[in-house]
Structure 1
Amino acid sequence: MYNTSNSGDLNPGYYYWQDTKWQRLMPQGDIYSNVKYDGTNFFYINDSGNEVQIDLEELVQDIETNTFIRKVEAVVDADGKVTSPTVYYYFSEEAIRNWLAADAANTDPSTMPNTDPGVVEIEIASDIAENFEFILNKTITYEGEQKTVEEIIKMISSEVEGNVIYTEVGGEMVFQYYNGTEYITIDLGDFVVKNQLTYEVKGGDDVNVANVIDENHTTYTVEVKAAMPKFFYMPTILFDTSTIQNGLTVNLHQEYIDQFTAANIKKNPNAPATIPHLPSENDLHYYVTDFDDNVIDIVEITDTGMLTYNVINNSGPYSYVTVVFVVK
């Protein structure tokens, strides 16, 4: 059936009866199907076959996203210390809708509080820290070449003259520092000498230390006694008992040194040139363990090994005395 006039909610056109109402037919030659534009507005045909204007503004508002991100800058005090870091807040569609519905006065989402339910605080700092290595390894085009972010940072930093730089001077690569006026070459040799670790060497029960000091160094000569026996017998010497007299002396340590360092020592070809010995009289304790007390009276032995004795009976030109050295 073709309707020739507006009748109720029916406009002119072809119709057929179905489900207790007239349904409009859309012939192939019709200029539009269910939407048309008249140069100003858009229209669609409703279930009754009538043209209804489309409100594009309302349509767009219904389907567009209203989410946004708000940045709150860091707070820095007068000393340059950050008292509050930079924070980003994400406002979702759901949060915005709930805020608008909560109060008729809520009309502008840009005024929503950061603390409103559904607003998400984004931890930018931690996110960057966790993905820093990934960021450094990202490749981008820099000066016409593909470079990683880390390579670009290194290239830029090498070209920036900061307080200390590494550069070529006179054909040599050197470190320089900026003194406020010019760059001064750093003498690394002098720097190392002045800032190297200093070790203190001390003598002990088994170590004798002698040192020679120059301008920058101290050279230590260390004689180790740990490998030596704890005691040994003094080399053989003769005690003069040819005349009865008092106050005779023998320097036990010096007699020992004279024999161990004598120029006429005989040795096998592979033996060292010198015999190991203790050069200081304070390295030893001195003991007389046996002597002829009918001929000699031992008066005293000092801590430095000076022995004083008296000849009390003339029994011959010489007499024996057994001396033991104990290593301190």
Structure 2
Amino acid sequence: MDILTEALASMRTGQPRSVRTEGRAPWGLRLPPVAGAGFHVVLHGTCWLVPLDDAPPHLGPLALGPGDVVFLRDGRGHVLADHPSTPAEVERPEQFTAGSPIGTVTVGGDGPRTSLLCGNYHLDQGRPHPLVRQLPEVVHLPTGDGHHPELSAAVRLLGAELDRPRIGSAGIVPALIDSLLLYILRAWLEGQPPATATGWAAALGDSAVAPALAAIHADPAARWTVESLATRAGLSRAAFARRFTTLVGEPPMAYLTRWRMTTAARLLRESEAPLTAVAARTGYGSEYAFAKAFKREYGRAPGGYRRESRNAA
């Protein structure tokens, strides 16, 4: 069971939006907050990511070079510029070229060129999966010098398709951008030193917690108990509960309920399954019991949630 893929799929509420940004020094672009999570890929040149005035002190100016990837967990507003001191313009409307899958923005003077792919992933930040919630606010992944080879390969492919669009590019570029999110998060999770990894970075590699998480994700409808999960993990009930809570951030049964409700919400958004079927697939013996649990978690009945989700789309 691929927990990373499932966790992201449970938060997705739409397709990524992306823009090719071309800047020539001096240039600066002020980017407002976005719903979901933001990202930037430096295709050519260098630039700086500068936080806005209300950002925490630890999110200082960040120098970016060719191949660097930045993931902004909460879609925080910020500035991109050739230098931290360059005044920033407000975000410009992107222009679209016939046949291109993304928009373009051009800004600046006639100095050295920087080219970026910028965008955001539409993720439900109202109920983020704890795997995403535990990420740093800004994830910076340099891909030069052999770092993160798979992510680096995806960046090179994106750059090649954007620099020289050919037959099939209109389908390839969106697919690569969609996959980029998984490459980013996998690179960060796998890049945490085992000796110092904490939270989900440690949980996914833990010999006791990882099998329990995989079991919950593989069959959320099963009648799991702390004892049955502990048996699968090869630990006593108490030892397993402590270890799971420490790494995952909540007790086993709380996470089970979270995942059942997350699965239910996704089924309601993306399928026509009747409520009785959604209830059965998420471990509830009756539609009434499921509806009561769902309303307690989401603040509205399953039918109302489904209608609102369809209307929003």
Normalization by structure 1: what TM-score?
A: 0.18
Larger Rg: 1
Normalization by structure 2: what TM-score?
A: 0.19
Going by fraction, where is strand more abundant, 1 or 2? 1
Structure number with the bigger relative contact order (C-alpha 8 A, sep ≥ 6) is 2
